[in-house]
Structure 1
Amino acid sequence: MAALSETRLADEGQLKEEKGGYTFFWKGKPANEPRIHGVGFAIKNCLINHLHELPVGINERLMTIRLMLASSQMATVISAYAPTLDAQDEVKEAFYADLDKILSEVPKEDKLILLGDFNARVGRNHHLWRGTLGREGVGNTNSNGILLLTKCSEHNLTAVMSLTPEQ
């Protein structure tokens, strides 16, 4: 399974790709609005029949799915696409409020996996963010990084970063 960002597809839907072996699920803005965001999942076709439920699109920036793991353990996976650094504060606040609501509603017994593009630099001060930021941090923290780390800290999550080629 992979979390997808910037899908730029309208509305909400799914597409099964037989040759590639994946089904794509997405949530975007309505067809009559500019499609500059979009979020989704790509899930191997062989796993689709084992899903407890299909992915749920919250909005063009957030999508969730619950999966059955071994021994009746459930996992909630969230695909997120956060606003960019130059987005208006109201847009960022709305995104993190929606994310907070989702995180608060995840059953406590579920494993939780938060994936996505957070358009953030979290820095490398793992001493300041003990338990929230591992040693994988890079560069200097920016305001989006503070928002992400704060939300992770509030929900007892650990940020594990992956780097893009330009980083």
Structure 2
Amino acid sequence: MSLHLPLKNKEYATILSVYAPTLQAKSEEKDIFYSELRHVLQRTPPADKMIILGDFNARVGQDADDWRGVFGRHGVGNCNDNGRLLLEICMELQLAITNTIFQQKYKLKTTWMHPRSRHWHLIDYIRVRQRDLRDVLRTRVMPSAECHTDHRLVRCRIRIRIHPKAITRKGGLPRKKYNHSRLQSDEVKAVFQASLQNKFENDSSQIDPSPELLWDQLKTAILQTSEEAPGILYQKEPGLV
């Protein structure tokens, strides 16, 4: 799965969620998976911030010297065949495994316990482009999080600035904004309350309306009163959203 997020300054972030074949899977199945993953990564715009997360069913070990830039000095255990496949594509596309960057307790790094040996391993990763490592503040496991799975939840804090989308009403008209701080004035508050009370008293709705109708009437009354009360509705300049 992929998610394309607009950031500020006309930048974008692409987030990928993947599930890799297990160690017992056939080589052909693994080749297809990594071929498809490579294709997706290569067609992603180079300027995008890349965040790849998921269960890779791979152990990358602790040999940071041979895979310089791919992961840090705080890996777990030994590398296996799936781990080498993962490290190779990371080296090829200049990706970094953020789980191994930060020094922390063993239980805050391992994500899955082998059902027979009962040993904990790190097989769930969050990867970013090596150039974006400076924006990664922390990657750690949440041991106490209940996820209804035999894997531990992995959380990553990343410094990105998402560009807020302009909110418009139906028909493309800008949403009205209200200065609620004006209600702190006793004079404005008295006018607002009197007007709102008058609308409720003059409401000729049915005796036992539905909750949806009640909510619609309440919302309409509050919005109309806000527009009528002095100084609550912001007066926007023409053409501004």
Superposed pair shares fold, TM > 0.5: yes
| Whole-Å separation in 2 of the counterparts to 1:120 and 1:72 | 35
Alignment of 1:97-116 (within 5 A): 97-116=35-54
Alignment of 1:39-118 (within 5 A): 63-118=1-56
Query: Cα offset for 1:134?
Result: 1.4
> One-letter code of the match for 1:96?
Y
SS at match of 2:13: strand
Query: Cα offset for 1:123?
Result: 0.2
TM-score, reference length from structure 1: 0.60
- The number of aligned residues is 105
Alignment partner for residue 97 of structure 2, among 140, 151, 159? 159
> One-letter code of the match for 1:110?
D
Q: Is the strand fraction higher in 1 or 2?
A: 1
2:58 paired with 1:120:
yes
Aligned partner of 2:214 in structure 1 is none
2:82 paired with 1:144:
yes
Instruction: Note closer, same or farther for the CA distance 1:84–1:106 as it changes in structure 2 (3 Å cut).
Output: same
For the aligned residues, what is the CA RMSD?
A: 1.1
Query: Cα offset for 1:64?
Result: 1.1
Q: Is the helix fraction higher in 1 or 2?
A: 2
Which range moves more in the overlay, 83-92 or 127-136?
A: 127-136
User: Whose radius of gyration is greater, 1 or 2?
Assistant: 2
SS at match of 2:31: helix
TM-score, reference length from structure 2: 0.42
Identical positions, percent? 48
CA offsets per residue over residues 29-86 of structure 1, 9 Å max, x none?
xxxxxxxxxxxxxxxxxxxxxxxxxxxxxxxxxx111101222210011101000000
Structure 1 unpaired stretches of 5+: 1-62
| Whole-Å separation in 2 of the counterparts to 1:73 and 1:104 | 18
| Whole-Å separation in 2 of the counterparts to 1:99 and 1:163 | 24
2:79 paired with 1:132:
no
> One-letter code of the match for 2:35?
A
| Whole-Å separation in 2 of the counterparts to 1:118 and 1:140 | 15
Structure 2 unpaired stretches of 5+: 100-108, 114-119, 121-241
Q: Contact conserved, 1:136 with 1:160, CA < 8 A, in 2?
A: no
> One-letter code of the match for 1:76?
T
